[in-house]
Chains A and B, each alone.
Chain A
Amino acid sequence: MHIKTGNGFEKTPLEIDQSRQVWILLHAHMRNETHASDLLPTLTTQARDPLSLRAGGAWTVEHAELMEHLCQDVTPNVRGAVGAELDLAAVTALDTSGAWLLEKLSRAPIHGDGIKVRYPSDTLVGLLTQAHKLNRCASSPEPRKAWPLAQLDRATDYMAGVSHDAVAFLHLLGAVCTSLGRIILHPSRLRLTSTVYQLFRVGWQAIPIMVLITFLIGAIIAQQGIFHFRRFGAESYVVDMVGILVMREIGVLIVAIMVAGRSGSAYTAEIGAMKMREEIDALITMERDPIEVLIVPRVLALVLALPILAFLGSLAALYGGGLIAWLYGGMSPAIFIARLHEAVSVTHFEVGLIKAPFMALVIGIVAAMEGLRVKGSAESLGRQTTASVVKSIFLVIVIDGVFAVFFASIGM
């Protein structure tokens, strides 16, 4: 029995999953409309003993799905056969995918002396002979580890990664310090142009966004303070809260986190892209120390820029707080400033700003370290940039905590 369909498709229904077949036919039919000149591929069983298969139509990649199913459907018959013949005379078009599928079919293990292939017209033989040579050496995929073992592996890798990070960080910190020392001895080694340019990028250009954000944060703190302190009639203490919080902690912390996200990520991406494109190797072959040329100017610029940004940020936050105290809390600016004088001393301000260069150093070193770790792929660039931001924000907060403990113990 043969099924005949509208587009000349012919198939013997030998142990065929009917529904799947119909679906494939429909699918193929839909595609067929776009290029009607191509015949659909067919694979029919002409005789069972000995097995005789006949392929026809266009065995080309746009019908790959259909071709694969056709081959899968006859494979069980081929396996059991004693002697078989594959007739390709009716194949009208062929490409490498089709040639490979037919070749694969002809390689099925059977009894006797293999499947005899009757080749089609001359033009198609070249490709079939090519396919005949392909995929001869089987590649064995790497054995997979059991799930618990793989998880254990990941955990140990992760732990090793943490200690590896610490070592790499200290290594780069040492290298940057050595380089800085050399620059102090020979100031002419400093890349002044580059440093100033980086300072412009991470300092000057960052001012608007830093000021805006710290202004908003100051305003929010003041608003919340006024709202909640009002119940106790302690509104005037909002000035103390805003002043101390902003000067000691929030100002520098917010700015450092912003800088890590804004400039640290840019450093990592730049250095990483240079690593990817072998620019760093080129520097080394010209006997230039990449640390001195690329990393020191960047780190130095950050160390100079962050205290300035933190200072401006703190001012903006106080300004925001004062504005809200005036507009929302009804406290006149003169009173706000007078209370601020009583509440905060220069010590609070110092405590805040002393932290800034250390945070900048950590952000710069982490950014450079992650940048230098970038491997060849775009994906690794993204991964390292993420790691750079996450790690530097984490370390900034850790440093802030360490300083808080330190200042508390020395009574500042």
Chain B
Amino acid sequence: MGENNAAIQIDDLVVGFGRHVVIDRLSLTVRRGETMGLVGASGGGKSVLMRAMIGLLPKRGGEIRIDPQIERRAVNRLGVLFQQGALFSSLNARQNVQFPLRENINISDELLDEIANAKLEMVGLTPADGEKFPSELSGGMTKRVALARALALDPAILFLDEPTSGLDPIAAGEFDALITVLQKTLGLTVFMVTHDLSSLASICNRVAALADGKIVALGSLDEVRASDHPWVRSYFHGVRAKMIHSPGQ
């Protein structure tokens, strides 16, 4: 146990609500600099696992260790994109992106604006969109602003909960490209919950499948696809997955 290039090391994690045990003795290692995709059934506990990893949910048992080198960093340890965006409703989109910057570093307002605009542009929004308040954003725009905010400090570990759901395929492709560039340059570690098969294929180095509160398959997409766990099989070899691989049949 315990690879020495682990960004996050989870051992025998148990998380539950009342009598409902959602994560049941789960062990997983996220390596430094990799993009790990997590798949699992709806309501299977992916968001719960992610929240427990960040420390937002108490754990009943087990251990979660973050790489001490990352833990030691002063400002930019984690960036999180929540499934529902979780934007600050009283701040406009630009202020939302500026918030982590403003809280952590001391730079001029002009530079803050420029960096926030740059981040918004990187996720495909215009400076004019920056003026909008969260209640005035479309679902996909909310996702993008939330991503821009998660990326504001170029964090060492990025947690993304279904980043491409609600984005059109072109935007989802741009998102994949953005993550690739950032990861190459910054050496980001990305932990991503996603159902987007093309994201899984194009940017995830490894894929983990969560079922019954445990990781039932782990490895490259092809390795996971070859797993004989019944849920994983129906996930990758179900009708919808087939439709993508052999359209028109």
Contact = CB atoms under 8 A, between A and B. Distances in A.
A379 B153 CA distance: 26
Contacts of A193: none
Interface string A289-314: 00000000000000000000000000
A411 B47 CA distance: 69
A167 B119 CA distance: 44
B185 A123 contact: yes
Contact of B181 (A104, A130, A378): A130
Contact of A61 (B105, B117, B127): B105
Nearest to A127: B185
Given A97-B154, A126-B184, A377 B75 contact: no
Chain B CB within 10 Å — which of A100, A276, A377 has the most?
A377
Interface residues of B, number: 37
Interface residues of A, number: 34
Interface in B102-157: 105-108, 111, 114-115, 117-119, 121-122, 126-128, 130, 133-136, 151, 153-154
A181 interface: no
- Which of A130, A276, A380 lies at the interface centre, i.e. has the most chain B CB atoms within 10 A of its CB? A130
A96 B119 CA distance: 8
Contacts of B135: 276, 375-377
Interface in A59-91: 60-62, 64-65, 68
B90 interface: yes
A164 B235 CA distance: 56
B72 interface: yes
Contact of B74 (A35, A130, A134): A35
A153 B111 CA distance: 31
B31 to A, nearest CB: 18
B72 A35 contact: yes
A126 B183 CA distance: 10
Given A34-B74, A377-B133, A135 B185 contact: no
B41 interface: no
A273 to B, nearest CB: 12
A62 B74 contact: yes
Contacts of A100: 114-115, 118
A408 interface: no
A376 B118 contact: no
A258 to B, nearest CB: 29
A62 B105 contact: yes
A375 B134 CA distance: 11
B108 A68 contact: yes
A131 B185 contact: no
A137 interface: yes
Given A34-B74, A123-B185, A126-B181, A377 B134 contact: yes
Nearest to B94: A139
Interface in A92-145: 94-97, 100-101, 104, 123-124, 126-127, 130-131, 133-135, 137, 139
B233 interface: no
A94 B133 CA distance: 31
Contact of A378 (B90, B119, B122, B182): B90
Contacts of A34: 72-74
A211 to B, nearest CB: 37
B89 interface: yes
A375 B182 CA distance: 36
Given A34-B74, A95-B186, A130 B122 contact: yes
A279 to B, nearest CB: 14
A375 to B, nearest CB: 6
27 contacts: A34-B73, A35-B72, A61-B75, A61-B105, A61-B154, A64-B101, A64-B105, A64-B111, A65-B106, A95-B154, A96-B122, A96-B151, A96-B154, A96-B182, A101-B111, A124-B185, A126-B184, A127-B185, A131-B118, A133-B121, A134-B122, A135-B121, A375-B133, A377-B89, A378-B88, A378-B89, A378-B90
Given A94-B185, A96-B151, A100-B115, 11 more contacts: A35-B72, A65-B106, A68-B107, A96-B119, A97-B154, A126-B185, A127-B185, A139-B128, A376-B134, A377-B135, A378-B90
Leading 7 A-B pairs by shortest Cβ distance: A376-B135, A379-B90, A139-B127, A377-B89, A95-B154, A127-B185, A134-B118
